[in-house]
Amino acid sequence: GEDVEQSLFLSVREGDSSVINCTYTDSSSTYLYWYKQEPGAGLQLLTYIFSNMDMKQDQRLTVLLNKKDKHLSLRIADTQTGDSAIYFCAENNNAGNMLTFGGGTRLMVKP
Protein backbone atom coordinates (compact mmCIF):
# COMPACT_ATOMS: atom_id res chain seq x y z
CA GLY A 1 0.00 0.00 0.00
CA GLU A 2 0.89 3.65 0.00
CA ASP A 3 3.44 4.91 2.49
CA VAL A 4 4.23 8.47 3.47
CA GLU A 5 7.12 9.22 5.80
CA GLN A 6 8.34 12.28 7.63
CA SER A 7 10.96 13.02 10.23
CA LEU A 8 9.48 13.34 13.71
CA PHE A 9 10.93 16.56 14.97
CA LEU A 10 12.48 19.85 13.86
CA SER A 11 13.71 22.69 16.00
CA VAL A 12 14.62 26.12 14.62
CA ARG A 13 15.22 29.61 15.94
CA GLU A 14 12.74 32.38 15.31
CA GLY A 15 13.54 34.16 12.07
CA ASP A 16 15.32 31.19 10.52
CA SER A 17 13.90 29.10 7.70
CA SER A 18 12.36 25.71 8.41
CA VAL A 19 12.41 22.86 5.95
CA ILE A 20 10.16 19.89 6.56
CA ASN A 21 10.68 16.86 4.36
CA CYS A 22 8.38 14.09 3.26
CA THR A 23 8.79 11.00 1.09
CA TYR A 24 6.03 8.95 -0.46
CA THR A 25 5.77 5.77 -2.44
CA ASP A 26 2.63 6.11 -4.56
CA SER A 27 3.72 7.30 -7.99
CA SER A 28 0.11 7.85 -9.04
CA SER A 29 -0.48 10.64 -6.53
CA THR A 30 -2.18 13.59 -8.17
CA TYR A 31 -2.12 16.10 -5.34
CA LEU A 32 0.21 16.40 -2.38
CA TYR A 33 -0.75 18.46 0.62
CA TRP A 34 0.71 20.09 3.68
CA TYR A 35 -1.49 20.42 6.76
CA LYS A 36 -0.81 22.18 10.05
CA GLN A 37 -2.19 20.92 13.34
CA GLU A 38 -2.01 23.04 16.45
CA PRO A 39 -2.40 21.38 19.87
CA GLY A 40 -5.87 19.94 20.41
CA ALA A 41 -7.13 21.20 17.07
CA GLY A 42 -8.08 19.77 13.72
CA LEU A 43 -6.11 20.09 10.52
CA GLN A 44 -5.60 23.28 8.62
CA LEU A 45 -4.69 23.01 4.96
CA LEU A 46 -1.60 25.13 4.37
CA THR A 47 -0.92 24.48 0.74
CA TYR A 48 -1.00 21.81 -1.90
CA ILE A 49 0.81 21.05 -5.11
CA PHE A 50 -0.34 19.27 -8.22
CA SER A 51 1.91 16.40 -9.23
CA ASN A 52 2.91 17.97 -12.55
CA MET A 53 4.42 20.97 -10.76
CA ASP A 54 7.82 21.08 -9.14
CA MET A 55 7.45 24.22 -7.07
CA LYS A 56 4.75 26.35 -5.55
CA GLN A 57 5.21 29.50 -3.51
CA ASP A 58 2.62 31.08 -1.28
CA GLN A 59 3.85 33.98 0.86
CA ARG A 60 6.26 32.47 3.41
CA LEU A 61 5.63 28.92 2.21
CA THR A 62 7.52 27.20 -0.58
CA VAL A 63 6.69 23.66 -1.63
CA LEU A 64 9.20 21.68 -3.67
CA LEU A 65 8.27 18.43 -5.36
CA ASN A 66 10.79 15.99 -6.81
CA LYS A 67 8.54 13.50 -8.48
CA LYS A 68 11.40 11.30 -9.63
CA ASP A 69 12.60 10.80 -6.06
CA LYS A 70 9.05 11.03 -4.62
CA HIS A 71 10.24 13.73 -2.26
CA LEU A 72 8.18 16.68 -1.05
CA SER A 73 9.37 19.53 1.12
CA LEU A 74 7.83 22.53 2.82
CA ARG A 75 9.98 25.55 3.48
CA ILE A 76 8.74 28.18 5.91
CA ALA A 77 10.65 31.44 5.61
CA ASP A 78 11.14 33.72 8.62
CA THR A 79 9.72 31.12 10.99
CA GLN A 80 7.71 32.57 13.86
CA THR A 81 6.76 31.12 17.25
CA GLY A 82 3.20 30.86 15.97
CA ASP A 83 4.42 28.36 13.40
CA SER A 84 5.10 25.85 16.18
CA ALA A 85 2.79 22.94 15.42
CA ILE A 86 2.73 19.49 13.86
CA TYR A 87 2.95 19.47 10.08
CA PHE A 88 1.53 16.59 8.09
CA CYS A 89 2.14 15.85 4.48
CA ALA A 90 -0.51 13.84 2.69
CA GLU A 91 -1.06 12.43 -0.73
CA ASN A 92 -4.22 11.83 -2.68
CA ASN A 93 -4.04 8.29 -3.91
CA ASN A 94 -6.82 8.65 -6.46
CA ALA A 95 -8.82 5.89 -4.82
CA GLY A 96 -11.99 7.65 -3.77
CA ASN A 97 -10.10 10.80 -2.87
CA MET A 98 -8.75 9.26 0.31
CA LEU A 99 -5.71 10.88 1.81
CA THR A 100 -2.73 9.02 3.17
CA PHE A 101 -0.93 10.98 5.85
CA GLY A 102 2.65 10.98 6.96
CA GLY A 103 3.39 10.61 10.64
CA GLY A 104 3.74 14.34 11.19
CA THR A 105 6.73 16.54 11.98
CA ARG A 106 6.64 18.50 15.19
CA LEU A 107 8.14 21.94 14.56
CA MET A 108 9.41 23.79 17.59
CA VAL A 109 10.38 27.44 17.13
CA LYS A 110 12.65 28.88 19.79
CA PRO A 111 12.56 32.62 20.48
Partner 1 sequence: GAVVSQHPSRVICKSGTSVKIECRSLDFQATTMFWYRQFPKQSLMLMATSNEGSKATYEQGVEKDKFLINHASLTLSTLTVTSAHPEDSSFYICSALDRGSYNEQFFGPGTRLTVL
Distances (CA, A) of 13 to 34, 42, 89, 107: 21, 25, 22, 11
Positions that interact with partner 1 (CB under 8 A): 35, 40-45, 48, 88, 92, 96-104
Q: Select 40 or 111, whichever has its Cβ closest to partner 1.
A: 40
Q: Select 38 or 78, whichever has its Cβ closest to partner 1.
A: 38
Nearest distance from C-beta of residue 15 to partner 1, angstroms: 27
Q: Select 76 or 86, whichever has its Cβ closest to partner 1.
A: 86
Sign of the torsion formed by the C-alpha atoms of 28, 93, 22 and 48: positive
Nearest distance from C-beta of residue 66 to partner 1, angstroms: 22
Nearest distance from C-beta of residue 32 to partner 1, angstroms: 13
| Contact (CB, 8 A) for 57 and 4 | no
| Contact (CB, 8 A) for 61 and 76 | yes
